[in-house]
Amino acid sequence: MSNFDSGIPLPYKKLRENLDIIKGRLGGPLTLSEKVLYSHLDQPDSQEIERGKSYLRLRPDRVALQDATAQMTLLQFISSGLKKVAVPSTVHCDHLIEAQISGDKDLARAKDLNKEVYDFLSSACAKYNLGFWKPGSGIIHQIILENYAFPGLLMIGTDSHTPNGGGLGCLCVGVGGADAVDVMANIPWELKCPTVIGCHLTGKISGWTSPKDVILKVAEILTVKGGTGAIVEYHGPGVESISCTGMATITNMGAEIGATTSIFPFNERMATYLCATGRAAIADEATKNKDLLVPDDGCKYDKVIEINLDTLEPLVNGPFTPDLAHPISKLGGNSEKNGYPMEIKVSLIGSCTNSSYEDMGRCASIANDALSHGLKSCIPFNVTPGSEQVRATIARDGIIDVLEKFGGTVLANACGPCIGQWDRKDVKMGEKNTIVTSYNRNFTGRNDANPATHCFVTSPEMATALAIAGRLDFNPMKDELTGTDGKMFKLKEPHGEELPSKGFNPGEDTYQAPPAKADDIKVNVDPKSDRLQLLEPFEKWDGKDYIDMMVLIKIKGKCTTDHISAAGPWLKYRGHLDNISNNMFIGATNAENNEMNKVKNQKSGSFDTVPAVARDYKANKIKWCAVGEENYGEGSSREHAALEPRHLGGVAIIVKSFARIHETNLKKQGMLALTFANPGDYDKVQPSSKISILNLKDLAPGKPVDAEIKNNGSSDKIQLNHSLNELQIQWFQAGSALNLMKELAAKGGDKK
């Protein structure tokens, strides 16, 4: 199945057998998404299949964990008492390396600061039979693409940008750690059957337009929640003009539209990439099974959007949301009209979305063009290689040399500023400023924790060009620059090799394979540690209704997982639930006062931080809920955004609508994830309200929940909806999915 999974064959024979059963049952042509998904059903002969309605029980081929989420995932796996993982699984150290000086120095510093965590992950991987990619190896999604992805793969990963693998014909889905534990424990993974959105591509990508512009356009069309509950399937003649790594860029950022995942059909560009990364045998097998890896003629999509690549103009999206698109020709005017800071302070390229050999080569061509006229970046220009293999190859081929002469600083092979791991010094906190990146996400404070930073996401080529002028009103397709010789010139269109003509240089070996015998390996967690903490089971539901819950916070506006559980400096506590809970909701805006991290303690009447008030309620055995608006929990897959409210005494989250991963994470931890049947009832909730959730003993799939809102002597009866199925109701009753797993194991059976 990969060069690291000896003795594990490709699953095409089994997938074909399952798909034959499915086709016999359903009849008619299938989309590619359906083929890959349904061929991984646990019981293909009897599973109910209805797009958007039924819950599928699936058997993924593998699991991938990044180091920040792996800590809690492995702590949950350890508490399950199982001996080893049931499917091929890997851990990738990419999230804990802070960008501060340069790649080598930042990596050395991270190894020292995070030694306890890295030692824990390394020993746990060895003990429980997981592969371990050491710090410096690269970003999880690039490592997966280079080594593990193959057409037809079904993989889950504890990171929201896991769909990156769709560029190689995989269905790769971002999940919370509890879902990963299920699969590693040989329990079927449950997913609500997605709808399928077709994205029909015509024309060809050329000139300044890049694959990034495709997904930026899709984000504009569908918005940040338009893909919720759906797989986006790209098809049409335009696909052939996009490289494999370009397709991965597009599927990677599908997370920003809320999509379950995204996928491209198998083609020659994928086969070429497989061969270039040492997997020619997989390319051959995929070619033999191509009928499994492309959509059937006449298949039906729930919705189709059309994009003509011939007329697609480069886009720059932002600030503060990835679906606010500006064609480069209108960026300057829109920025002036909206009061965005015109001067760009920093340009950053790379990240898991745009750090391929092709991306770096095309940026180097722009840099070379500028250098030939005596110009270089006029602002700090940071470069993040996606993997050690890419870094070593672009170093050998002179690309790093060009980017450094251009003024670039090459950072570690890690997530870095994309996830807020950036020790930024050039602006003060609260100072209004603009940055441009080739990253995927640009929520408030995402990159540098500064809520006044206006982050725009674009292609690496456009980020490089904008770094030369240092302004948002520069259009490299039309505007001229002045060289040091005083002559005017226009930048040439970017160009670069899709794959290195000399082949890839693997660079330093950073992989730790699981040992043949692991009985003597010890995995220790120091009780005094402030980085790691063994988990205690959450309390079971006591069988009673939730009466007069306090409203901890009524949240106004966008509330992503970054707002619920901030990243950046808090990443170091991802393995210690109590410590990281001190960041709960600190980025969310309180509707009462339009302030962040300041809520009234309804018991004492005084204002305090959100975590402090929650801890006081918990100490006094007062149940609480939080109330929010649309697409609550969008963004990262981090399950800490569900674990923290549960740990600090929360029992319910009531909102207008949820993002998919976060809703599942809440359910897994025994929280009630509820939506207003009438969204207008959000306005009936006041910070001082007391909310009761009634008749919980009658909780059933598809049946609304009765609730009561009390305000200063008056009360309103309302209804709340939920998407819990029978199994998920058992999670709630047991206190969490992990509790239920242990209960069933103790009884000697598994009803899942």
Cα separation, 362 vs 707, in Å, equals 57
Place of tokens 């994309």: 418
Residue 159 among the catalytic residues: yes
CA–CA separation, 741 vs 735, rounded Å? 11
CA–CA distance, 545 with 538 (Å, rounded to integer): 18
CA distance 220 to 190: 30
Q: Identify the active-site residue in 89, 243, 636, 637.
A: 636
Looking at this protein, which amino acid is placed at residue 728? Q
Distance separating alpha carbons of residues 234 and 226, to the nearest angstrom? 16
67 is catalytic: no
Angle subtended at Cα 265 by Cα 261 and Cα 267, rounded to the nearest 5 degrees:
140
- Paired with 512 in beta bridges are 132
Catalytic residue (choose from 279, 446, 638, 647): 638
Angle at 596 (CA atoms; ends 593, 600), nearest 5 degrees:
55
Phi, psi angle pair for 463, to nearest 5°: -65, -35
HSE-up of 192 (CA within 13 Å, CB side)?
Answer: 17
Q: Is 750 a catalytic residue?
A: no
Question: Annotated catalytic residue: which of 57, 95, 269, 574?
Answer: 95
Element (H, E) at 705: strand 705-711
The neighbouring-strand residues paired with 626 are 553, 653
SS3 746: helix
Active-site residue, 95 included: yes
Among the listed residues 235, 362, 441, 722, the single catalytic one is 441
- Alpha-carbon distance 207 to 189, whole Å? 43
Give dist(CA 14, CA 102) in Å, integer. 47
CB atoms within 10 A of CB 526: 11
Residue 233 near residue 262 (C-beta atoms within 8 A): yes
Q: Which structure tokens are listed for 217?
A: 């356009």
**Torsion sign across C-alpha atoms 587, 589, 594, 597:** negative
Looking at residue 682, the DSSP 8-state letter turns out to be G
**Contact between residue 701 and residue 192 where contact means Cβ atoms under 8 Å apart:** no
Q: Which helix (H) or strand (E) holds 63?
A: strand 62-66
Query: How far apart (Å, rounded) are the C-alpha atoms in residues 681 and 746?
Result: 43
d(CA 644, CA 243): 41
The reply to whether 141 belongs to the active site is no
Looking up tokens 């000139």 gives 207
* Residue closest to 32 by CA, chosen among 152, 205, 168, 159: 152
Task: Tell me, letter by letter, the H, E, C secondary structure of 141-188.
Answer: HHHHHHHCCCCCCEEEECCCCHHHHHHHCCEEEECCHHHHHHHHCCCC
| Both structure tokens of 413 | 């092979």
User: Which residue, chain included where needed, has tokens 């009658």?
Assistant: 698
- Residues annotated as catalytic (active site), given as ranges: 94-95, 159, 441, 636, 638
